[in-house]
Amino acid sequence: MATSSRFILCSLLLCWVSSQTLATISVQPKALVIPVTKDSSTLQYTTQIKQRTPLVIIKLTIDVGGNFEWVDCGSGYVSSSYRPVPCDSAICKASGSGACETECLAPPGPGCYNNTCSHIPDNPFGSTGIGGGEMASDTTVIQSTDGRTVGKAVVVPGVVFTCGTTSLLEGLSTVALGMAGLGRSEVSLPVQFASAFKFPKKFAMCLSSSSSSKGVIFFGDGPYVFLPNVEVSKSLMYTPLILNPVSTAGAYFEGNPSTDYFINLTSIKINGKAVPLNVALLNITDGNGGTKISTVNPYTVMETSIFKAFVKVFRHEAKNLTKVSSVKPFKYCFSSKYTPSTRVGPAVPLIDLVMHSSSVYWRIFGANSMVQVKEDVICLGFVDGGSNPRTSIVIGGYQLEDNLVQIDLEKARLGFSSSLLFKQTTCSNFNFTSSA
């Protein structure tokens, strides 16, 4: 901002000089990009960013519905740009924090300062108890993009995150030092990046189906281009985001809404036939029920009655497939020997997730519905979530892979592309070769 006022005040000649000298430090990107890798042992999706002074590369597990970024501050966090977030600050209030750490008794350092805003870092993979963590900000460096290739790295000065303890890392991919929360909050990474560079509060996530090739998350608006020159942002279908008024995190301050992305799924069709469902389960009542997307669940999870009805219709429609014994965590597996394969995976019944209007549906093809568990065996990649889950349908990672999902926080809507395989590309086809 100091830069733009200098521009207005200076003479033409000086402007030219200062734009030359400032070019490297005042890049105003239209969008940012991070790589996403699927961890083959935990099935978590991880990314890496650079943080601190001096810069350190840190890997984080992605939680698309997570409130904020959290990082282990308990082992070897060293940074001269670390700043605790004061309790009386606007950002502390906006974060929904309900606690202030007035006095930290351990020696001062990252994670332990007096009068610091306190929050609750959540690790949905872990079994460790909950605990508070100090909110702080630190320098983060991330690549810019024009939507086609990777541009210059840019500095985001004070990115707010929460300090976790080393024990909170339990259950995360061994490379991860914390989690990247992209959720519906005032302090999630997409919102902070958008306000740092005044670009739209939107991001798009495209998860790769392979652990050996990278998917991508774009922060900001499109274009979102995949090789060979497939622009996806203009061909999305949209459905409104629904606010769940009650937090769905493992632990939270009372009164905070959920930061998960809920959508208005109204029916499921298989080969055009509606799955008979108790529609009350699709409604959010006192924070329970409804449908959300998740990068924490590797496969879509459905409440028992929905799961049973879903499988029944699927099996009826797939009666020409040869059933074989089940392979955990799946219940319905088939021989793939005689199942023809297509560009969009095995030729199996089509699953449509119908949204707020019958003309808006997310079509799931074989590549996203069937999981190859061994040679010649494919399983229906959906799991039973029990009879009383918090959320009735959680659309998991496998069903999101090779689909681009855009979250538009300004218009409160979710855009989806359906399978990119149809467009003859995949989520691993973003050109990460830097031109900068």
Ligand X SMILES: *[C@@H]1O[C@H](CO)[C@@H](O)[C@H](O)[C@H]1NC(C)=O
Q: Report the interface residues with ligand X, using CB under 6 A.
A: 103, 108, 113-114, 149, 227, 242, 264, 266, 279-280, 283, 285, 320-321, 338-340, 347, 356-357, 431, 433, 435
| CB-CB contact of 98 with 119 (8 Å) | no
CA distance 45 to 131: 24
The length of the chain in residues reads 436
* Cβ contact 306:382 at 8 Å: no
- Give the CA radius of gyration of the chain: 23
Decide whether 240 or 329 has the Cβ nearer to ligand X. Answer: 240
Q: Which is nearer to ligand X, 63 or 101 (CB)?
A: 101
Read off φ and ψ for residue 235, nearest 5 degrees: -120, 40
366 DSSP 8-state letter: H
In the bound state with ligand X, the residue whose beta carbon lies nearer, of 112 and 400, is 112
Percent of the chain that is helix, strand, coil (3-state, to 5): 15, 35, 50
CA–centroid distance for 136 within its chain = 22
User: What is the rounded CA–CA span in Å between residue 130 and residue 91?
Assistant: 22
Question: Closest distance between ligand X and the C-beta of residue 391, in Å?
Answer: 14
Instruction: Tell how strand 300-302 and strand 382-384 pair up.
Output: parallel
Q: How far apart are CA 174 and CA 433, in angstroms?
A: 26
- Taking the CB of residue 31, how many other CB atoms lie within 10 A of it? 25
Adjacent-strand bridge partners of 370:
380
- Reading phi first (left if > 0) and then psi (alpha if -120 to 50, else beta), residue 386 is in left
> In terms of CB distance, is 166 or 357 closer to ligand X?
357
Bridge partners (DSSP) listed for residue 230: 226
Pairing relationship of beta strands 178-181 and 56-63 according to DSSP bridges: parallel
Paired tokens of 73: 């501050």
**CA distance linking residue 117 with residue 84, whole number of Å:** 8
Decide whether 17 or 436 has the Cβ nearer to ligand X. Answer: 436
Please, what is the minimum distance in Å from the beta carbon of residue 79 to ligand X? 16
Question: Please, which residue, 3 or 285, has the CB nearer to ligand X?
Answer: 285
Minimum distance of ligand X from residue 435's CB (angstroms)? 3
CB 404 within 8 Å of CB 420: yes
Smaller CB distance to ligand X: residue 187 or 351?
A: 351
CB of 20 to ligand X, least distance (A): 23
| Nearer of residues 285 and 424 to ligand X, judged by Cβ | 285
Q: Evaluate whether 207 touches 295 at the Cβ level (below 8 Å).
A: yes
Q: Would you say 129 or 340 has its CB closer to ligand X?
A: 340
The DSSP secondary-structure symbol of 276 reads P
Minimum gap (Å) between residue 235 Cβ and ligand X: 21
Q: With respect to ligand X, which residue has the nearer C-beta, 133 or 298?
A: 133
Is the Cβ of residue 46 or residue 336 nearer to ligand X in the bound state? 336
- The residue whose two tokens read 């990672």 is 397
Measured at the alpha carbon of residue 322, what is the angle toward residues 318 and 325, in degrees to the nearest 5?
A: 110
How far, in Å, CA of 258 to CA of 271, rounded?
33
